[in-house]
Amino acid sequence: MLINAAEIVAFSADKPRAIAGEWRVAESNLLLLALAGGTPGAYWARQRFRHKTRKQPFSMQLDLIAMLQVGIIAGLGFFFIFR
C-alpha cells in the first residue's frame, strides 16, 4: 500500500517538473518503485496525471514488470493450490 502511494507521489511530482523543464524524477526510480510493488499505483498515476502514457521504452518496461509480477503471483498460486 505504501509503495503504491510513493509511486503516485513520484508521478505527481514529476509531471509539473516536466512541464516546467525542471529537474525530473528519474525513470529508473519510477520503474524501481513499480518493481517493488508499486505497479498498480504507477498505472493509476499514469492515467490520473496523463504522464508517460506514450513514452517508450518506459511503457514497455512498466508492462514487462507488470507481466513479471502477474506471472510470479500466478506461479505461487499454482504452487500452493496444487502442491
16-21 average pLDDT score: 94
Residue for grid cell 503471483? 73
The Cα–Cα gap between 50 and 4 comes to 17
The Cα–Cα gap between 7 and 40 comes to 9
Asked if residue 45 has pLDDT above 90, the reply is yes
pLDDT band of 53, cuts 50, 70, 90: confident
Its pTM stands at 0.89
Looking at residue 41, what is its pLDDT? 97
Number of domains into which the chain is organized: 1
Boundaries of domain holding 17: 2-81
DSSP 25: -
Amino acid, res. 6: A
- Is 34 in contact with 7 (CB distance < 8 Å)? yes
Asked if residue 82 has pLDDT above 90, the reply is no
Share of the chain above pLDDT 90, in %: 88
Asked if residue 83 has pLDDT above 90, the reply is no
